[in-house]
Structure 1
């Protein structure tokens, strides 16, 4: 949580504060400039009015401009807003609406007016009373005796108070935005951190072996999807754990049965002195059969272990029809002993495929073994080989009890054994599926309860233009 909070503070919140402060600075700069520019425009407008009135009064009455100016100062009607001064040629105040005269002009607006092209100058300064003011001096456009310019001065107290109010309001607004950002950000972080803490605690319990625990999915966002993924993972682990335990129990039982039989027959034939005794011969036969069962189970377990570490193939060009015939011959004796009938007619034309002969034979024998185990006495097992332009399809069909829909979708999962499963480790079809995928093919199972099962194995047909290097292994 601390890490997420720090990243948010250093990233989003800090950027937000910096942007807001920059925006506040720009806003204040332009606002203050606008306020002062407004005061400047007011002085300029009033000065232009006075000069216009001066020109008009002088031409109408014939009175000297100096007298007109002095009378205008005496009759100035905006004394509450501006102080009007007449500045003489020596740079001193000759007449003022406040009654003071012969004082030196404060500020540098007169100097600016004398040096400017339009004859005007502005300045902002502190008056003798400590008041902040703005002054404007405009040189007289006509000779007016010893008078040089008119000067207007206005107080900036109201402007500064307006600016202070604006600054306080804008800073309060920025502060409110920052506080809201902090509150909303912390609320958002808590909405992420709390579910993450729950997910972390749940994951820790799952890691300790509690696979029954589940997360409550409170939303459909990324956190909700993560919770759903954790729940799915826990469910799959729980299912795998149960299947593993069932596998261990099943394998233990499967191993115990032949070992018990072997042990019993070893003790029995040990007491038989004549090797020609039927009991002796029967005992040797049973031991051989049970040993074959043990060997097949160990081979399945070894195959499973190899798949976990990566299954290596040694592909070569094969005749798929011939390989099927070899697999049929391998199980032919067992089919007869189980009272079944195997139907297989090898096609006249070879079917070329690229594959590992040992692994493909393992696939065919494994599928045929399942068909034999689940076929009733007198049943028929059919092998068919069909092709199209790209693939060969091997279908092995039995007339057994079939597989229920709920078991059918899980039979390829490692360790899974359905309700009607007979002896076996539960990894045979998982091994078949892995080998078929390694060959670029696929395993498909169709079954109907009470009507049997059809296993279809698809393999790509070999084409010379797709030939791979001879002897090169392929790993998965």
Structure 2
């Protein structure tokens, strides 16, 4: 599968930014639009509907005051009312006859005219107050008019009409809507730019993380990302840095392992080849020298076989083919057999092998005797290799409640404290110069773990290195 290019990563990042902004900004824009619409409706009701209702009430009240007048009295009272009317600058007061003609008006220019707005005819026909808002056909000015019929003893004798200009109200409404729109625009801009800043604070670190992840994917292990935020992005940065460090460490360990194994395999092969060629050439005249050479060949071949078997065990462990053949056994007896096997070898090497056990005659467990023997032999071999000049190995076994504890300790220099957490890792060899593949402890721990036990490594008090194994006792009903 082709790896994503930098341009593809940029498209993805831009896509995140675009989706985030579209989603958040669209919601804010919708809310602001609804809010502005609601404010517009309220302002419209306040300025226009409110003024219209006031004008209708005023016209109705004035018409009710003229109900006592006959047609002739209506004209006289209308003339007198217009002459004393004081609110001419704000409202125009008109008195009309039943034909819709203006008899008297606070504005002398409209006296005698016949307004063509529909509110007059509607009031005459329905005998109820009517209003009209729009552009005056005669003057072209936007006006609001309210007409109410004057009724005397069931007969319409005229119409009282109030007219006001909407210019001032339109101006106030427009100004209010402009202020509201400006506030909404300011809120939108604030939300947009704050979201843009917030998205950038996420997307830009993600872009850098993507770049570093691609660098790691290309094989540059150990590269670190600069941590700028102490949040989820920071946690992701820490995780990738930790991953990069561990991959780099694993690759380094793997390379060291391959180099070490190559060296370990080459050493016995060199010895075998050298002695075989020497014997084949006939240069060895004595039978003792030939036997010595053959013994070295056999010894190195066995060591080579053991190393190959260890590698095969590791391979089986890695791909899941690592199995156990479980049966009831005496753990104490199995350990004693392993100790006995190494006693003579250690004696020849000048190593004192000390064995102590608890008061229990037997320690019954369910396990694989071959695998457990493999663990014991591996740990004893490690103790001999790493014991240095200590030349003393202590093996002990005892039972603590439902667990059996086995300790194998040497009296060498021990391991550096900083290396202890890594000694059981696959391929890890640490600073030790002793020969080996670096997977022995990993295989041992896997075997012990499959037996539902634990394997712990530590530096012993008074010096030396110690391995402690704990296994469950008398648990023969487990499913393996």
TM bucket by the smaller chain?
Answer: 0.7 to 0.9
Q: 2:271 maps to which residue?
A: 261
* 1:363 aligns to 2:375 (yes or no): yes
Equivalent residues in 2 for 1:123-202, closer than 5 Å: 123-127=132-136, 128-140=138-150, 142-143=152-153, 147-202=157-212
Deviates more, 1:377-386 or 1:79-88: 377-386
Q: 1:327 maps to which residue?
A: 338
List alignment gaps of at least 5 residues for structure 1: 469-473
Q: 1:281 maps to which residue?
A: 291
Q: 2:349 maps to which residue?
A: 338
Aligned to 2:118, what secondary structure does the other structure show? coil
RMSD of aligned alpha carbons = 3.0
Q: 1:72 maps to which residue?
A: 81
In 2 relative to 1, CA 196–151 (structure 1 residues): closer, same or farther, beyond 3 Å? same
Equivalent residues in 2 for 1:73-112, closer than 5 Å: 73-99=82-108, 100-101=111-112, 103-104=114-115, 106-108=117-119, 111=122
In 2 relative to 1, CA 333–140 (structure 1 residues): closer, same or farther, beyond 3 Å? farther
CA apart distance, 1:316: 2.2
Determine the C-alpha separation between the residues in 1 that align with 2:284 and 2:426.
47
Say if 1:83 and 1:153, in contact at 8 Å, map to a contact too.
yes
Determine the C-alpha separation between the residues in 2 that align with 1:268 and 1:190.
74
* 1:379 aligns to 2:392 (yes or no): yes
Determine the C-alpha separation between the residues in 2 that align with 1:435 and 1:113.
108
TM-score normalised per structure 1: 0.86
TM-score normalised per structure 2: 0.85
Say if 2:133 and 2:143, in contact at 8 Å, map to a contact too.
yes
Q: 1:393 maps to which residue?
A: 405
Determine the C-alpha separation between the residues in 2 that align with 1:176 and 1:4.
25
Determine the C-alpha separation between the residues in 1 that align with 2:187 and 2:201.
21
* 1:419 aligns to 2:428 (yes or no): no
Determine the C-alpha separation between the residues in 2 that align with 1:371 and 1:113.
120
Determine the C-alpha separation between the residues in 1 that align with 2:185 and 2:88.
41
Q: 2:240 maps to which residue?
A: 230
Choose from 438, 458, 463 the match for 2:470: 458
* 1:32 aligns to 2:38 (yes or no): no
> Can you list the C-alpha shifts for 1:87-127, whole angstroms capped at 9, x where unaligned?
333444433222323515512365268648xx332221221
> Can you list the C-alpha shifts for 1:406-426, whole angstroms capped at 9, x where unaligned?
121221122222223411111
Aligned to 1:108, what secondary structure does the other structure show? helix
In 2 relative to 1, CA 92–220 (structure 1 residues): closer, same or farther, beyond 3 Å? same
CA apart distance, 1:447: 0.6
Q: 1:240 maps to which residue?
A: 250
* 1:302 aligns to 2:315 (yes or no): no
> Can you list the C-alpha shifts for 1:164-197, whole angstroms capped at 9, x where unaligned?
2222233333333333333333333332232222
List alignment gaps of at least 5 residues for structure 2: 1-12
Determine the C-alpha separation between the residues in 2 that align with 1:251 and 1:218.
42
Determine the C-alpha separation between the residues in 2 that align with 1:354 and 1:214.
47
Q: 1:471 maps to which residue?
A: none
Determine the C-alpha separation between the residues in 2 that align with 1:113 and 1:281.
142
Q: 2:8 maps to which residue?
A: none
Aligned to 1:124, what secondary structure does the other structure show? strand
CA apart distance, 1:271: 4.8
Determine the C-alpha separation between the residues in 1 that align with 2:448 and 2:283.
51
Q: 2:6 maps to which residue?
A: none
Determine the C-alpha separation between the residues in 2 that align with 1:247 and 1:258.
17
In 2 relative to 1, CA 82–121 (structure 1 residues): closer, same or farther, beyond 3 Å? same
* 1:429 aligns to 2:441 (yes or no): yes
